[in-house]
Amino acid sequence: MTSSLEKVFFNYILNNRKFFEIVRPYFFRNSEIQFVYGVIREYMVKNNDAKAPSPKQILDMVTLEDKEGIITKEILKSILVINLAEYDEKNFIEPKFNAWVLTNRLKTGTVDIIDETRNFDSISDFDKAIEAANRIRSIVDDMASINFVQDDDMGSDFDDPEHHLQDTSKFKIKSGFETIDHMLGGGWDIQTLNCIMAETNNGKCFFYGGRIMVRISNNSIVEYEEIGKIFTKVSKGDYNI
């Protein structure tokens, strides 16, 4: 990886704030770019609504953190001087950037897996072995995921799930079911509406006589009412759930 290409990636991330969550400072081999990016990333991650800082703001931020004065104005200018308009984003930047991110994530995951295996010889309990296997599976699922290559387009064909492209680089929410989490690449995406679909009598919901707790309109809770009775009362207007 050349320093000039890392500068392109650096400026590409500045224009696409979603990548700040994904790209870690140590992805950059160049120590100066790594330092500057680390300062900016900390600011962006802490301030979810913040826009990418201007060159002047970046200079001020870096100066405050650079106690040894390593990053001069000339060095910072050389990092920021890249004009992305001179590059073919679709056919040059994106493929190289995605490969760079994925290989760095895989390297990180490989190190984490090696760390996990150091204690294997001390495991004699089957449940502990399962826990270790699940941790390694989680590392592989996370680091090998290519969800970051997707954009914010919801798709041109509503009826075809394969065309529903989403930005799933954000944090996931565990479903509580290991198989589902694995299929979804870590769990539900936050701020999404998820529909569970299946044929009749395939276990999408509780049984008719199942007992649950329901919070109703006056903020009180009806405890362990049968589902059938609740919806009967709703239909009669007794409850406004």
Q: Are residues 210 and 156 in the same domain?
A: no
Residue 196 located in a structural domain: no
Do the Cβ atoms of 211 and 225 come closer than 8 Å?
yes
Structural domain count of the chain: 3
Q: Are residues 105 and 75 in the same domain?
A: no
In degrees and rounded to multiples of 5, residue 9 shows phi and psi of: -60, -40
Query: Residue 189 pairs with which residues in a beta bridge?
Result: 172
pLDDT at 51: 86
pLDDT at 21: 87
Q: Are residues 32 and 58 in the same domain?
A: yes
CA 49, distance to chain mean position in Å, is: 17
Q: Are residues 62 and 104 in the same domain?
A: no
Q: Are residues 96 and 54 in the same domain?
A: no
| pLDDT tens per residue, range 182-220 | 777 778 877 777 777 878 777 666 555 555 565 555 666
Residue 78 located in a structural domain: yes
Q: pTM here?
A: 0.57
Instruction: Give dist(CA 75, CA 206) in Å, integer.
Output: 63
Q: Tell me what the mean pLDDT of segment 160-186 comes to.
A: 66
Residue 194 located in a structural domain: no
The mean of the pLDDT values for the chain is: 79
| pLDDT tens per residue, range 112-167 | 899 889 888 888 889 889 988 888 888 888 877 777 775 544 444 445 555 555 54
Pairing of the two strands 188-189 and 211-215:
unpaired
Q: Are residues 107 and 121 in the same domain?
A: yes
| pLDDT tens per residue, range 33-69 | 999 999 999 999 888 778 889 999 999 999 999 999 9
Pairing of the two strands 172-173 and 221-226:
unpaired
Count CB-CB contacts under 10 A for residue 30.
18
Say what percent of the chain tops pLDDT 90.
Answer: 34
pLDDT at 59: 94
Q: Are residues 93 and 74 in the same domain?
A: no
- Of 189, 211, 233, the domain-final residue: 189
Q: Are residues 185 and 207 in the same domain?
A: no
Q: Are residues 100 and 184 in the same domain?
A: yes
Q: Is the pLDDT of residue 238 over 70?
A: no
Q: Are residues 78 and 116 in the same domain?
A: no
Residue 75 located in a structural domain: yes
**Per-residue DSSP letters for 149-204?**
G--S---S-TT-GGG------S-EE--S-HHHHHHTTSSEETT--------TTSSS
Between 8 and 171, residue with greater pLDDT? 8
Max avg pLDDT among 96-100, 108-112, 181-185 = 96-100
Instruction: Give dist(CA 106, CA 148) in Å, integer.
Output: 14
Q: Are residues 105 and 54 in the same domain?
A: no
Instruction: Give dist(CA 67, CA 115) in Å, integer.
Output: 33
Count CB-CB contacts under 10 A for residue 11.
19
Q: Are residues 217 and 156 in the same domain?
A: no
Q: Whole domain around residue 217: which residue ranges?
A: 203-241
Q: Is the pLDDT of residue 233 over 70?
A: no
